Amino acid sequence: MHEKTKLKKPLGKARLIPGKCIACGARCQSDCRFQAIDMNEDGAPIIDIDKCTGCRRCLKVCPVEALEIFFTPEQQEILNRLAQEGTDIVAPDSEEETSDEEARIASKLKQYKGVWIFVEQTDGKPATVSWELLGIGADLAKKLDVELCSIVIGDKVENLCHESFSYGATKSYLIDDPVFHHYRTEPYYKAICHLTDKYKPEIVLVGATGLGRDLAGSVATELKTGLTADCTGLSIDEKNFLLQTRPAFGGNIMATILTERTRPQMSTVRPHVMCMPEKDVSREGTIVRESIPLTEDDIAVKVLEVIDDHRAGADAIDISAADIIVSGGRGMLAKENFRLLRELADELGGVVGSSRSAVDAGWMPPERQVGQTGKTVRPKVYIACGISGAIQHLVGMQDSDVIIAINRDNQAPIFEVATYGIVGDLFQVVPAIINRVRELRTSKTNQC
């Protein structure tokens, strides 16, 4: 009697369909469990077919169907033989393994619930970015139908739990101990990991300040989860994943990043990127007191002295807190010409900012730089003088309430985001505005 040979049907290999990749942010690469995908300089995948198992995960995550399956000549030969001989085809193991793995991950992810915001504080004074995060956190929690919680860690900081309730949190996890008086990476990340291990939040948001960046990176590394830094947009998709949008590839594209296989989903957001929510002191919530077994002797780093950076000689003006910013770019031509912008800023009660070109030229200190590698600002009025409007500048100021652009090139991209555009020579326009402001002020004084 003739027994049929049991041959496995080849799964094929993945390959890129030319011209279809949109460089979405390496989703296919991060989803490949076999390290078969690398990215080229343009953000498109390079697939190592020796490592590719044909599992099709990359095809499923690609948002534009830019990948397809093909069969190598050897695999094609097997397929032809199977077709000709009518041989039994055995379901390939890797498909079964993939679905088992998917089920395991899905059940793990289901254990995580809630949106958590880390409340940053220094000497008990909260960073306002934490309240901004409660604003966006409330939108995410509402969409997911889960609780919005704050994490408060420090020394005598219970009042911050109540303040977080007034900005929308309904529960606050508090670790209050002298060991947390000064921020140090080790005790703080251990405290957060302790809380997340115990209560399993699905989303944790942290301000992208110096402290927040240090802390979020340590927590994500310890928890072996994904972290998207400097997000400019956060929302929830139809599968309840957190969509984390941020500039990528030098700011030339906006990438939307998902943490599909691990929890919590972690993001940092810079100050002033999200809107400040309404404060309502009548709101109340629940405080969950926690502690971790950590003493001063367990911590290697000691804080000997805290030196205020303003005393250490840094720029005393914080442009990100200003309501009016008059910014200058390469069109200012020289350092001394910034005097003109200072005059206008003084008239309006504002401060002077700048583009990176002006900082690189040594005309302005780095603390005044607006943009992707500078500060994100959201003033009531932003006046851009001699700034072209490169995407890296725009991401730092495009959410200002009113943008006034002065540029002699009517094609300058800054006009695309401007509320009012003035095409002209800034050395004529700015003095004219200063004179007009002074005239208006004088006539108002005379009326009084």
Ligand X SMILES: Cc1cc2nc3c(=O)[nH]c(=O)nc-3n(C[C@H](O)[C@H](O)[C@H](O)COP(=O)(O)OP(=O)(O)OC[C@H]3O[C@@H](n4cnc5c(N)ncnc54)[C@H](O)[C@@H]3O)c2cc1C
Tokens of 62: 């690609």
Name the residue nearer to ligand X (CB basis): 5 or 411: 411
Name the E strands within 249-323: 253-257, 265-269, 286-289
Task: Find out whether 16 and 45 touch, Cβ atoms under 8 Å.
Answer: yes
Residues near ligand X, by CB under 6 A = 250-251, 329-331, 355-358, 369-374, 386-388, 390, 392-393, 396, 406-409, 412, 425-427
Smallest separation, CB 26 to ligand X (Å): 18
Smallest separation, CB 360 to ligand X (Å): 8
Name the residue nearer to ligand X (CB basis): 213 or 330: 330
Name the residue nearer to ligand X (CB basis): 251 or 271: 251
300-308: list long-range contacts, CB under 8 Å, 24+ apart.
300/186, 301/184, 301/185, 301/186, 303/182, 303/184, 306/182
Name the residue nearer to ligand X (CB basis): 261 or 408: 408
Name the residue nearer to ligand X (CB basis): 13 or 270: 270
Tokens of 267: 């993001």
Smallest separation, CB 173 to ligand X (Å): 35
Smallest separation, CB 312 to ligand X (Å): 23
| Angle, alpha carbons 399-136-208 (nearest 5°) | 70
Residue indicated by tokens 């005598």: 156
* Number of Cβ within a 10 Å radius of residue 430: 24
- Classify burial at 280, counting beta carbons within 10 Å of its beta carbon; exposed 0-12, middle 13-18, buried 19 or more: exposed
Residue indicated by tokens 């006009």: 415
Smallest separation, CB 41 to ligand X (Å): 14
Smallest separation, CB 65 to ligand X (Å): 30
Name the residue nearer to ligand X (CB basis): 10 or 424: 424
